[in-house]
Amino acid sequence: MRQLFSPCIAMNFADRLKQLPSVSHLAALHLLATDGQVLATLENKPGQAGSLAVYAALAALYGGRITPAAAQLGLEWYAEHTQDALAHPAKHPNIDRLLAWSEGSECYAVQTIAA
């Protein structure tokens, strides 16, 4: 599987975002449960655009899904924000979701919504 970054280089979240593909072509994305139910929607707007970029890049790398391995990679990409999420549960719901999913076995589909 193609990596978007070198795992040997520690990066903060802002620098990581600069390496991820642009999401200017997306209005949003839906995270879907195995039954197709929308679990969450990430919109391309201030406060969510970074998470949209992370989730979209993970889905691109993992065949349109967020697997436990994808969730773990996402936690690495969130860098310093992952530690903050661990220290302050519910402050970062998009990271909290990846924390839970990285410890599970289910895969979640990602449906992109064009801008």
Which pLDDT tens digits describe the chain residue by residue (115 residues)?
334 444 545 689 999 999 999 999 999 999 999 999 999 999 999 999 999 999 999 999 999 999 999 999 999 999 999 999 999 999 999 999 999 999 999 999 999 999 9
pTM, whole model, 2 decimals?
0.90
Domain boundaries, the chain: 25-114
pLDDT digits 0-9 by tens, 29-41: 999 999 999 999 9
Cβ-Cβ contacts under 8 Å for 102 (sequence gap 6 or more): 68, 71, 72, 74, 75
Distance (Å, rounded) from C-alpha 99 to C-alpha 93?
10
DSSP state of 106: -
Give dist(CA 71, CA 58) in Å, integer: 8
pLDDT digits (tens, 9 = 90+) for 39-61: 999 999 999 999 999 999 999 99
